[in-house]
Amino acid sequence: MVGIVIISHSLKAAEGIKEIAQQMGREVPIVAVGGTEDGDLGTDPLAIKEAIESIGETDGVLLLVDLGSAVMNTQLAIDMLQDELQKRVVLCNAPILEGAVVAAVEAAMGHTLAQVKRAAEEAGQMEKLL
């Protein structure tokens, strides 16, 4: 099963998104990471790396990020991973909340990492208003 890491500048935001996504895929490994070591807003490459490693034994790990520097720090975290795990980790260009929910559903259905990533990225095109 594909695992999901939600990366936000705010740990509270990441945990809230995780809570919603976990409702859609209860058995899906989902980890929330965010904020700095001293509790401020920001992202920490080492914390992101540890979050990825904590679910690295899955069929792959999808990474969802919120804003600019989260992308940079996530890319740094990926570079710090062992080669074998790096091959099973993808950074996703999806809206963090909608992407996490759709990714959790897709992962729960047993879809591949590529399928989960594609569905999460397509969530950016979802109509909210009819």
Query: Domain containing 29 — which CATH number?
Result: 3.40.50.510
**Alpha-carbon distances, residue 121 vs 12, 28, 32, 50, 108 (angstroms):** 23, 18, 19, 24, 17
In a domain, 130, yes or no: no
**Count of domains for the chain:** 1
More confident residue, 124 or 21: 21
At 126, give phi and psi (nearest 5°): -65, 135
Q: Which domain holds residue 97?
A: 3-125
- What pLDDT digit, counting tens, does each position of 32-71 carry? 999 998 989 999 999 999 999 999 898 999 999 999 899 9
The predicted structure's pLDDT at residue 61: 98
9 a catalytic residue: yes
59: which DSSP letter?
Answer: S
In a domain, 76, yes or no: yes
Among 3, 8, 9, 17, the one annotated catalytic: 9
Cβ proximity of 11 and 69 under 8 Å: no
